[in-house]
A and B are shown apart, each in its own frame.
Chain A
Amino acid sequence: MTRADVQAGDYVLRLDGIAKRFGPLVANSGITLDLKRGEVVALLGENGAGKTTLMNILFGHYVADEGTVEVFGQPLPPGNPRAALAAGVGMVHQHFTLADNLSVLDNITLGTESLWSRGRGRRAARERIAALSRDFGLSVHPEARVGTLSVGERQRVEILKALYRDARILILDEPTAVLTPQETDALFETLRKAIAAGLSIIFISHKLHEVMAIADRCIVLRHGKVVGEVDTHATDRARLAALMVGSEVSLPKAEARRPGPVLMRLDRVSTPAKGTATGLRDVSIDLCAGQIVGLAGVSGNGQAALADLVSGLVRPDEGRVEIAGEELRSWTPRQALKHHIARIPEDRHKTGTISDFSLTENAVLEGYSHPPFSRRSWMDWHAAERFAKDIIAKYDVRCQGPSQQIRLLSGGNMQKLILGRVLEPSPRIILANQPVRGLDVGAIAYVQSRLIAARDAGAAVLLISEDLDDIQSLSDVIHVMSEGRLSPAFPRGTKTAAELGLWMAGQGFEGRTHAA
């Protein structure tokens, strides 16, 4: 179906005047949006613009404070995912909603049969899944346990879940965030097949090139409001970017630098697998003073293992770890801190902070066991508070004061406090694991400029990110991880995104014993 076939009145979905507040935060305000049959509408906006909230309202996870939702001309009862599913709305969540210990088939059929029916039609389900897999190019084994699947496969299961329920409207929340460029292409292929089969799609993203590639129309959200609606063929990336961010925010550009001496070296290191998470397999890497090393890869391919190793949480099974030329014997988080490693953890809420603790307490979480914060087993809270106040001032942490609980801070301010905590002791090695995930553009620019400044001051930075754009714009050299293996170092600008994507998909590792 082409756009010419779309008639007025062909609306499959209309959101009218949607508003939603969470306490003082206005997540959505007066949002109106419609979707025609066979159309792909992109919902564009930076983190915190309200995209996910809007879709959660549509799907019934949340109830809107104001506004109505109509699907195929019928009003949708609020707060009822079951009704949304029955009306033909299918959602592929950003964080997959799959039970790892259940099979693909169980995950797909969950909730599709009456809870009070006496048995389960497993055979019919298996056949139907096979047919859908074939028709939409979504190959996955129905009896496999979801926990054993790759991220790409899990996303296919998420899409199959919607298709299995005869979804007519498909909502995809940041579906490409976790995919290689090649997997993204395959996803788009699947989406085109879905459109050909008469489905309509809402595609949530903040990646402009993808939006331009797949969407017919683009709705831009900023601070919970619709700030623009454009046909994609009548616009360009620059204009969309301006709409999305509002004012011009230029992300910092890192100038290439000559690297200094090696500060940390991993030599043929392997670590144990943790449950279903991959360990490191024969990884060698040099972190040099004054250099940002970017680590690209699809999540779940060993980045967590490398981060855990550098953080001191995991010890290598095999191989050598050297810091400033000296081989490490014992290796714990405290050792890592002693060796001046700054660690920005992946998850601000779960590992980076203790949400019930004050800013002061959070500021000294790493340094608490030594002077000036601790002397002879007694805490010096005055010293701790001075340190917290210092960070608050120097890193522009917006808060009520050092005794405020950190859970009340925004993500960006939380990250600034973490930055202050780890950068103030002038570290020599910096591990930045997904440092800008979930932040708005202003905070992203701030965090990135701090990392560049630290590099320029002579620190070795290891930057881990799922976002290839981030990696490419900041890194002096890039490594790619796949299934726990590490690619060779690619200096800045020597590989295109597509080439890196092939490495991310695991090509190029064959025949290599280990990367230099």
Chain B
Amino acid sequence: MSYLVDILVSASFWAAVIRIASPLVLATMGELICERAGVLNLGIEGIMVIGAFTGWLAVYQGLPLWGGVGVAMAAGMLFGLLHATLTVPFGLSQHVVGLGVTLLATSTSSFAYRLALPEVTSPPKIVPFQPLDLPVLSDLPFLGEVLFTQTAFTWFAFAIAVLVSVILFRTPLGLAIRAAGENPSAVEAQGLSVSGLRMGAVIVGSGLMAMGGAFLTLSAFSSFFFEMVNGRGWICVALVVFGAWMPGKAVLGAILFAAFDALQIRLQQTPIGADLPYQVFLMAPYVLSILALILMSRRAEVPAALMTPYSKGER
């Protein structure tokens, strides 16, 4: 087991954990906002794909990296608007619409990619976000490598999580969003628009999901592949449950999850990796997500009006 210890004490391992957690944090916060307002957004997987693609394409076409992040967010919000329009005022099945949005966003990405790059065989690269080089801090032993050589995008992701937490629990807007997910008629009786709040939450949440996708192309890797999101969206849906709809716990869940992911990558290089087929390691994230769901079953406090459409003046 000594190699396990070696891995767990190495700074590069923990740096990888933070890196792997970043896109999950962004997308999980996006899903969390939607669900807090009462809307399950299963468009997440496809919205992450469209974010990864549009962010990458924008930078490939010459936009600065943050410009690419902005483009990804806008694209995500557009699909969020589609999801919100169908599920909020029309109150259509959130399951069906969510899956439909995922299929549409994914196929749009593939279609547009092929259209933009018809002849390319190996995906072109862009120059991704670079690790920050902070004076003094980056040179700290251990912590310097773990925290202070991350990219600006990683810092941004965690800052977003803090911001989401503050907004949800410290501001009137957050109270209104949470109330929309608990009892929409309470929101309407206080003169607020349930539709407005829910649509806003889904649109903004989708923007965050798309930025999570963009992290993959703009910070983690440097090109776009069709299968690159690979179920991360669904894992984020599980992380929201695991985090009991609390931003802080969800971030912890993302980090825990990323730790296992980073661990399995490293374990593949050890004698264990030689004994076991590599597919077992690749399964780990999905198995882990299912285990997380089982662990949190019956414990978490689900927003009372999650998946319940609301129409005005409903009695």
Contacts and interface: CB of A to CB of B under 8 A. Distances in A.
Interface in A328-373: none
A398 to B, nearest CB: 23
Given A112-B190, A115-B173, 14 more contacts: A61-B313, A81-B190, A85-B191, A95-B185, A97-B183, A99-B186, A100-B183, A101-B182, A101-B301, A102-B182, A106-B179, A110-B176, A114-B172, A115-B171
A82 B182 contact: no
Nearest to B193: A82
15 contacts: A82-B191, A83-B191, A93-B185, A95-B185, A97-B190, A99-B178, A101-B303, A102-B179, A106-B179, A112-B172, A112-B190, A113-B172, A116-B173, A117-B171, A161-B190
B192 A82 contact: yes
Contacts of B182: 99-102
A448 B199 CA distance: 47
Most buried by B among A56, A61, A109, A114: A61
Interface string B294-315: 0000000101100000001101
Interface string A110-144: 11111111111000000000000000000000000
B173 A110 contact: no
B296 to A, nearest CB: 17
A182 B178 CA distance: 35
A419 interface: no
A111 B187 contact: yes
Interface of A: 52, 56, 61-62, 81-86, 91, 93, 95, 97-102, 106-107, 109-120, 161
A85 B190 contact: yes
Contact of B189 (A81, A83, A86): A81
A111 B170 contact: no
A112 B191 CA distance: 9
Interface string B219-237: 0000000000000000000
Nearest to A121: B172
A99 B179 contact: yes
Contacts of B191: 81-86, 111
Most buried by A among B176, B185, B190: B190
B186 A110 contact: yes
A97 B194 CA distance: 13
Contacts of A109: 172, 175
A97 B171 contact: no
Given A117-B171, A120-B170, A97 B176 contact: no
Contact of A52 (B189, B192, B304, B315): B315
A116 B172 CA distance: 7
B190 A101 contact: no
A84 B186 CA distance: 15
Nearest to A93: B189
B312 A61 contact: yes
Contacts of B189: 81, 91, 93, 97, 161
B183 A99 contact: yes
Contact of A101 (B172, B304, B313): B304
Given A85-B191, A111-B192, A98 B172 contact: no
B190 A102 contact: no
Contacts of A85: 190-191
Please report whether the interface of chain A is mostly helix, strand, loop or mixed according to DSSP: loop
A116 B187 CA distance: 16
Nearest to B183: A99
A318 B237 CA distance: 41
A116 to B, nearest CB: 7
A97 B175 contact: no
Contacts of A62: 313
A107 B187 CA distance: 9
A243 to B, nearest CB: 26
B54 to A, nearest CB: 29
A209 to B, nearest CB: 26
Best-buried of A107, A109, A110, A118 by chain B (most CB within 10 Å): A110
A97 B188 contact: yes
Interface string B161-174: 00000000011110
A155 to B, nearest CB: 14
Contacts of A100: 182-183, 304
Given A115-B176, A117-B171, A118-B171, A110 B192 contact: yes
A58 to B, nearest CB: 12
A259 to B, nearest CB: 40
B40 to A, nearest CB: 18
A107 B186 CA distance: 8
Nearest to A107: B186
Contacts of B304: 99-101
Contact of B185 (A97, A102, A115, A119): A97
B172 A97 contact: no
Contact of B172 (A52, A61, A99, A117): A117
Contacts of B312: 61
A202 B263 CA distance: 67
B63 to A, nearest CB: 30
Given A116-B173, A120-B172, A111 B190 contact: yes
Contacts of B188: 61, 81, 97
A110 B171 contact: no
Contacts of B187: 110-111
A119 B173 contact: no
Choose among B185, B191, B301, B303 the residue with the greatest number of A CB atoms under 10 Å from its CB: B191
Nearest to A147: B304
A101 B181 CA distance: 10
A98 B186 CA distance: 5
Contacts of B313: 56, 61-62
A91 B186 CA distance: 12
A272 to B, nearest CB: 15
A113 B192 CA distance: 11
A102 B176 CA distance: 11
A184 to B, nearest CB: 23
Nearest to A122: B170
Contacts of B179: 99, 102, 106-107, 110
Contacts of A161: 189-190
A52 B313 CA distance: 11
Nearest to A81: B191
A99 B184 CA distance: 8
Contacts of A82: 191-192
Contacts of B175: 102, 106, 109-110, 120
Name the residue in B170, B171, B173, B175 with the highest tally of chain A Cβ atoms < 10 Å from its Cβ.
Answer: B175
Contacts of A99: 178-179, 182-183, 186, 304
Contact of A119 (B171, B176, B190): B171
A332 B171 CA distance: 47
Contacts of A112: 172, 190
Nearest to B196: A115
